[in-house]
Amino acid sequence: MQHDNFEAFYRANVDRVHRALAVTLRNDDLAREAVDEAMARAYANWPKVSGMESPAGWVFRVGLNWATSWWRKVRRERPQGAEDSSIPAGDESSVVAREALAVLPLPQRAVVTCRILLDLSTAETALALGLNEGTVKSRLSRGLSALRSALSEKE
């Protein structure tokens, strides 16, 4: 059947892709809409998507593209700080970590979350985000370096 195994894929991956998008976008509501939209597109193209090396990476990228396309237009008109209004405060260490992650530019956060939260390899991340492997490596390196630097400043 055309949509065989889609439901199983959805149930196995939707939460982690959602969390990866929430961390990348710093907006939980937008992340939920983005993952819903991307999952709907995955369902529409399931015969093709299911054959990919990383369907979850594909969903992440589609969700990220959808969110940043829509978000950029809206974001232009919003004051700084509106991004993370929907994320709960959490304990002190998680607040410090979240603020440190917020320092990273979105392209670096996307690479970091793909590598860590979606468990994608460098090659899979490059494929999922439409980058070459060198760019993935440099963004990861710079992102982690900036993250460590931001953490040490806060300590």
Partner 1 sequence: MDQIPNDMTALVRDVAHAAPGYAGSLDEVYRRYRRRRRSRAAVGGVLALLLIAGVGLTIDHRPQRTSRQPATQTQTETKPTAKRAQGILVHGDPRLKGGVKITGTFWDAWPDRVVTSFDIHGVTWDGAVALPGGRVVAVERGAGGHTWSLVEVDRSGTTLLRRELPASKGEPMSLLTADESTAYVWQERSLVAHDLATGTERPVLEIGTAPIQAVDYADGRLAVAGLSADCQLNFGRGKPIEALVAAMPPELKCGSVTDLRLSPDGKAIAVAYRRMDRDEQRVALLNLPAAQVLADQKVTATSADQVRLAWQDNRTLNGVVVPAGTWFSVKY
At how many degrees (to 10) do helices 28-44 and 6-25 cross?
A: 150
Total residues at the site for partner 1 (CB under 8 A)? 70
Q: Decide if 115 contacts 64 (C-beta within 8 A).
A: no
Residue 100: which residues within 8 A CB-CB, separation 6 or more? 147, 150, 151, 154
**Structure tokens, 116:** 């860590």
**Is 12 an interacting residue with respect to partner 1 (CB under 8 A)?**
no
By CB under 8 A, tell whether 79 contacts partner 1: yes
Instruction: Report how far residue 26's alpha carbon sits from residue 43's, in angstroms, rounded to the nearest whole number.
Output: 26
For the bound state, the minimum distance from the C-beta of residue 97 to partner 1, rounded and expressed in Å, comes to 5
Choose which of 10, 50, 52, 146 interacts with partner 1 (CB under 8 A): 10
Binding site for partner 1 (CB under 8 A): 7, 10-11, 14-16, 18-20, 22-23, 28, 32, 35-37, 39-41, 43-44, 65-66, 69-70, 72-82, 85-88, 90-91, 93-94, 97-98, 100-101, 105-108, 112-113, 115-117, 122, 130, 132, 135, 137-141, 144, 147-148, 151
